[in-house]
Structure 1
Amino acid sequence: MNKKFMIKDFEDYIPEHILSRAYDYYMSETIDNLHIEGDVVYATVLGNHTYDVNIQLDKTHRYVLSTSCTCPYDKGLYCKHIAAVLYQLLEEIPNENIEDLKPFLEGKSKEELIDILLSISHEYPMIASRFQHFDIEDEVEQMIDEYLCDYIEDGFIGYKDLPKAIKGFDAALRKAELASPIAQFQISFTIIKKWIDIYMETDDSSGYLSSIKNQALFYLNEASRQIEDPLLILENVRDMTKIMLENMGTDIDDIYIEWMNAIIPLSKHNEIKTILTDVIKVLLNHETDYQYFKYYKDDLMEIYYQILYLSSKEEADALMCENLDNRAMKLKYIEKALDEKKYDVIIKMCEENLIKSLGYEEEWHHWLVIAYQLNQQTDLALKHMRSLILKGDTTYYQAYKTSYDDESWRNETLNLLEILGREKYPRSIYEKIMIEEKMYHQLFVYIKKYSHKVFEFYRYLDNEYQKEIKSLMEQEIYEQFLKGSSKKHYLYRVSYLDTYKNAYGKEETQILVSNLKAHFKNRKALNEVLDLYVKKI
């Protein structure tokens, strides 16, 4: 049975080991929806599970009469969830002595205040422990490691073990969701640091770990938009920039770019702005053999521009004009010229980029289409539409088509197909034109050359070339099974039989399977797969 006690004295009635864990919950802001209805306190505590706590107060709201919690704890009257709510309750219910305490403490010297804290710590060892060890980042790291350490001992976390190994990350994300902006920033920062530590040592083909990173970056950005005083997170920013400088030019450069993007809102504070711009300058001058780093320099320059733009548009534009050899700044320059209707400026820059073969050709063609159209130079716009089509980009396909009459368009599509038929051009646009324009004879000739395409395009030709397409499909199925030697290979190729069944029906498929079994009678694994398939259909 619960004993009646004053709220302010609850620590005297609860064991210290319970209080210690309860204080962790309280400081981690896991108490949700605490409210008082009449004389009853209702609250939800979010841990590994969610538990409901009720506390019955007396009429004065100074005494606790009874408590209950939906958790399974049965080794005492008070669990950590009840105690955590009691800590929170001390904040919610005004302390009548607090106004007297404030001037009392303000009148003490630093040495006297230290003596008071030491005295309290001797009386309540749990509080001393919190003074010495409470660090939300350490707590989150321990939360993650609690699960992680059981799986990473061999140096690699496999696909099957990953969901269990990263449960601590999930718990940390839940903690971040409910935290104040500063705590949310620090928790998300810790999650990302741990992510960097283990990402290269995991099989993340499921995408679980990447989704954790993305959620942590989301919370980081949310916190960055709300933090007004950056002093408490300055060290976090410095730590990450140090990690960036040590590791930039590796396979996980993306995370550093994403991290900097997430905290751009913080650069409205001069301290953060200085840290970020200083590290960006170093990275922009960084030399590495890593071939993809040049693309990250574009991203870095874009971030640099956005940081400057928050405080000074003129400063950002000066950076842009000084760095027009950088693709990101070229695009900013083009956007600015478009707003100012300086179409000739856009045309000059993009045409020069194409002549110099500086890469990103589709991008320059797109801008040239826009600029020439706005500049009333339709013929030149059509020229760049055509260039985009030949590169596999169909953004302007319909616009390009409507510039021709029917007869001229037929000749133009034949010209396009002739060019696209060469090996260096993308197959996808070649196929799209034949289907879009119902050029089925050309499509049939194409499928005869690339017989594996028959499964993808048979429906367009089945009326006019039914016999030939059926024969091609059967021959391709034989070829696909002929290449195999394992059950896994055969099971994967069964999908071709599904396509054949959709095209020609169940009976024809059963005949084909019988012929396959007879042809490959010495392949036991294949015959087992075919027998299973027949039962299925």
Structure 2
Amino acid sequence: MNLKDFERNISSTILDSGYDYFVQNAVDGLEKVAPGMWLAKVHGSEIYTVEVNTHKTKIKGWECNCPYDHSPICKHVVALFYAIEERMNDAKTFPKNKKKSAKKNRVQEIFKKTSKEELQEFIIAQFGRDAGIKNAFMAHFVEYLDEDQQQKYKTIVRNIYKAAQGPYEFIDYYSAASLTSPLYKLAEKANDLLAGENIKESLAICKALIEEIPVFLNNMDDSDGSAGDLLYYAFETLGAIVQQAPPMLKDELFTYCTEEFPKQKYHGFGFESHFLHYLPELITTEEQEEQFFELIDRQVKIEQKESYSDYGITQLIKTKVEYLLNSRREDEAIKLIKSHKNYPDLRKMLVDRAIAQKEFKLAKTLCHEGVEAAKEKNHPGIVTNWQQKLLEISKIEEDTPEVRRWAEKLFFEHYYAMGYYRELKATYSQNEWPDKCEELISAIKNKNRQWIQGSSGILANIYAEEKHLDQLLKVLQQPPVQLSFIDSYASLLIKEYPNELLDIYEEAITNYATQTGRNIYNDIANYLKKMTQIEGGTEKVHQIIKGFRQRYSNRPAMMEVMNRNFPGTMPKSQKP
């Protein structure tokens, strides 16, 4: 098949769908990554990765990770064919470029013969017909407006936004770059201006970006996070300005942060925390400190009215505590923490302080109180956090019974994490441990009567840890077993049990192959390649593929993947 005639070799349904994708600009990031190898993303119901291999104009092969399996080629690959053909045509220096050149010369000729007044009249007329052209024009030439810097950069940002909007005043995924790319240039300019010690203009740009982008985010698709990242960039530059600000500018910045922090447009995305972080560095008077505390207290009252307020309140109180500690007012800070110890992060500050001062009894009391409070609120994750703290304290005190108690409890209650298993094992001698290990295994089996299905991963981890390979093999032999699960332990069994391991892989791969899709076929090919690294694996793989050819002869995509990865198994009739 050739890029010049591929349309004759593809069904009209697939061809039309692929062409529609192409003309709708669904092919994104087309790149020639190696000689003859083209790679792109195609946006369909999901974003698919498509690869096409060519030699000059001849199409040698292709691959797409979409699940389509009703013919050897899908619409996403066809879309890429059209994109590659266009790219190749654009690269030629034949008549196509000559036409472009001629057009360009005619435009230049018109410019030479047209008066300034005529051009102005034409451009103004176009503004009336297309607001997008007007906004793009304003964004490009706003530097010439006679306005103060703050207003000037707000106008720039707003006009860039308007120019990027679609017909429904919404910026979709494909248009987002037309907004974020020029705004990134502005953010970089702010950074460069700051490096050149032009703080005032750098601040004007940062303010414009910080104040406007949260508004844009409510009216755009920011799936790739570029607009959010841009806002973080602007806040980083603002933070650098805060560090370098002279006294008078610090006062201005303090007022700015206190005024912006309460605005709802920041709170929907969590951006308000930046203002809160900068404020302590800007306080230079007792009056400002009082304003800072009042701001936090007002926001705490607002947060208390929300359904899920613990995190927000905790961050506010911690900001106040950190300020007091940095001001060497520890007594006030501790008093504030104690009055809010019902919040776990603040209680933890008291626990850590007690541990540092070797007040272990107090630390444990605070932890136990935390456990009970978390249980009342049905917060199992926080219960675990306090139990982990109690384990930490018992290790510091070298209290072996308590270490065993908490390590075992956490092992059983925290998803059988092997870290706790090892903590427990470390407290037993080599002679004592085998009996304790068997006790744990029995407890795991008794917890789930269908233990092979429910606890296979847990037991496999223990058998692997203890090098009980015969028991590990038995776990892997119990169906159904996921291929990724087999993979996790294959390296331990490959030498002593190669035949058994191959049988386990074969059964799992055969079950997996009942599903369809190129991703699945590529996975199967990768697992089959791993089987060839096991003694006797190559012959077993050939048998499996032979079975696939008989059972799934109606799956062209599957056969194409098998042929490409295992050309030695291809029937003679299919060999080139």
TM-score, length basis structure 2: 0.60
Q: How much does 1:337 deviate?
A: 1.4
Question: In structure 2, what is the Cα distance between the partners aligned to 1:429 and 1:141?
Answer: 61
Deviations 1:442-484 (A, max 9, x none): 4334433551111332222223333232222222222223122
The separation in 2 between residues aligned to 1:288 and 1:500, in whole angstroms, is 59
Which of 434, 437, 462 in structure 1 is aligned with 2:466?
437
1:192-231 equivalences in 2 (<5 Å): 192-199=210-217, 206=224, 208-227=226-245, 228-229=247-248, 230-231=250-251
Inter-CA distance 475–428: structure 2 relative to 1 (3 Å threshold): closer
What SS is found at the alignment partner of 2:164?
coil
- Cα 1:188–1:523 change in 2 (3 A) is same
**Residues 1:134 and 1:440: Cα distance change in structure 2 (over 3 Å):** farther
Closer/same/farther in 2, CA of residues 209 and 357 from structure 1, 3 Å limit: same
- Contact map agreement 2:300 2:316 (CA 8 A) in 1: yes
SS in 2 for 1:299: helix
Question: What letter matches 1:297 in structure 2?
Answer: I
**What residue is the counterpart of 1:408 in the other structure?**
432
Q: Does 1:530 align with 2:562?
A: yes
Q: Secondary structure at the match of 2:496?
A: coil
Partner of 1:168: 182
For the residue of structure 2 that corresponds to 1:451, the secondary structure is coil
Structure 1 residues 356 and 318: CA distance shift in structure 2, 3 A: closer
Is the 8 Å Cα contact of residues 206 and 238 (structure 2) preserved in structure 1? yes
SS in 2 for 1:242: coil
1:324 aligned counterpart, secondary structure: coil
Alignment partners' CA distance in 2, 1:501 and 1:141? 64
Distance 1:444 1:184 in 2: 65
Alignment partner, residue 496 of structure 1: 527
What amino acid is the match of 2:409?
A: S
Question: What is the rounded CA distance, in whole Å, between the counterparts of 1:256 and 1:172 in structure 2?
Answer: 22
Matched to 1:283, the amino acid is Q
Deviation at 1:346, TM superposition (A): 0.4
How far the C-alpha of 1:412 sits from its partner, in A, is 2.7
In the TM superposition, what is the alpha-carbon distance from 1:345 to its structure 2 partner? 0.5
Q: Does the C-alpha gap of structure 1 residues 442 and 239 become closer, same or farther in structure 2, counting only changes over 3 Å?
A: farther
Task: Check 1:429–1:487 CA distance in 2 against 1; reply closer, same or farther (3 A cut).
Answer: closer
> For 1:509 and 1:262, how far apart are their aligned partners in 2?
62
* Residue correspondence of structure 1 range 459-478 to structure 2 within 5 A: 459-478=491-510
Q: Paired residue for 2:411, among 354, 379, 389?
A: 389
Q: Which runs of 5+ in 2 are unaligned?
A: 1-110, 112-142, 570-576
- 1:435 alignment partner, SS class: helix
Distance between the aligned counterparts of 1:300 and 1:501, measured in 2? 59
Matches within 5 A, 1:282-431: 282-286=298-302, 292-311=308-327, 312-358=329-375, 359=379, 360-390=382-412, 391-392=414-415, 393=417, 398-420=422-444, 422=447, 431=460
Query: For the structure 1 residues 527 and 270, does the alpha-carbon distance in structure 2 shift closer, same or farther, using more than 3 Å as the test?
Result: farther
Mapped partners of 2:460, 2:505: distance in 1: 18
Q: 1:314 to 1:190 in 2, by over 3 A?
A: farther
Distance 1:469 1:213, change over 3 A: farther
**Counterpart residue type for residue 166 of structure 1:** T
1:398 Cα shift? Answer: 4.2
Of 461, 481, 491 in structure 2, the residue corresponding to residue 451 of structure 1 is 481
Give the total of aligned pairs: 406
Q: For residue 240 of structure 1, what is the amino acid of its counterpart? A: E
**CA–CA separation in structure 2 for the residues paired with 1:209 and 1:536:** 50
Segment of structure 1 superposing worse, 487-496 or 349-358: 487-496
* 1:88-126 CA-partner distances (Å, limit 9, x unpaired): xxxxxxxxxxxxxxxxxxxxxxxxxxxxxxxxxxxxxxx
Report the equivalent of 2:262.
242
Q: TM-score, normalised by structure 1?
A: 0.63
Aligned-partner Cα distance in 2 for 1:186–1:268 = 23
Deviation at 1:354, TM superposition (A): 2.0
Q: Identify the residue that residue 5 of structure 1 maps to in structure 2.
A: none
Q: Distance in 1 between matches of 2:509 and 2:297?
A: 58
- Which secondary structure does the structure 2 equivalent of 1:482 belong to? coil
SS in structure 1 opposite 2:302? coil
Q: d(CA) in 2 for partners of 1:197 and 1:414?
A: 61
Q: Mark the CA change 1:195 to 1:381 in structure 2 (over 3 Å): closer, same or farther.
A: farther
Counterpart contact for 1:186–1:236, Cα < 8 Å: no
How far apart are residue 520 of structure 1 and its match? 0.9
* 1:182–1:232 contact (8 Å) kept in structure 2: no
Letter in 2 for 1:302: K
| Larger mean Cα displacement after TM superposition, 448-457 or 159-168 | 159-168
SS state of the match for residue 335, structure 1? helix
Q: Which whole-Å CA distance do the structure 2 matches of 1:506 and 1:431 have between them?
A: 27
- The alpha carbon displacement at 1:157 in A equals 5.2
Mark the CA change 1:319 to 1:414 in structure 2 (over 3 Å): closer, same or farther: same
Check 1:259–1:509 CA distance in 2 against 1; reply closer, same or farther (3 A cut).
farther
Specify whether residues 349 and 487 from structure 1 end up closer, same or farther in structure 2 by C-alpha distance, changes over 3 A only: same
CA gap of 1:265–1:397, structure 2 versus 1, over 3 A, is farther
> Judging changes above 3 Å, is the alpha-carbon distance between structure 1 residues 144 and 460 closer, same or farther for their aligned structure 2 residues?
farther
**Runs (5+) with no aligned partner, structure 1:** 1-74, 76-127
Instruction: Report deviation, 1:195.
Output: 4.2
**Does the 8 A contact of 1:455 with 1:499 survive in 2?**
no
**1:232 alignment partner in structure 2:** 252
| Higher RCO (C-alpha 8 Å, min separation 6) | 2
- 1:295 and 1:282, CA in 2 relative to 1: closer, same or farther beyond 3 A? same
Identity %: 16
Give the direction of change, closer, same or farther, for the CA distance of 1:326–1:288 in structure 2 (3 Å limit): closer
More deviation, 447-456/259-268: 259-268
The offset of 1:363, in angstroms, is: 2.2
User: Are 2:160 and 1:146 equivalent residues in the alignment?
Assistant: yes
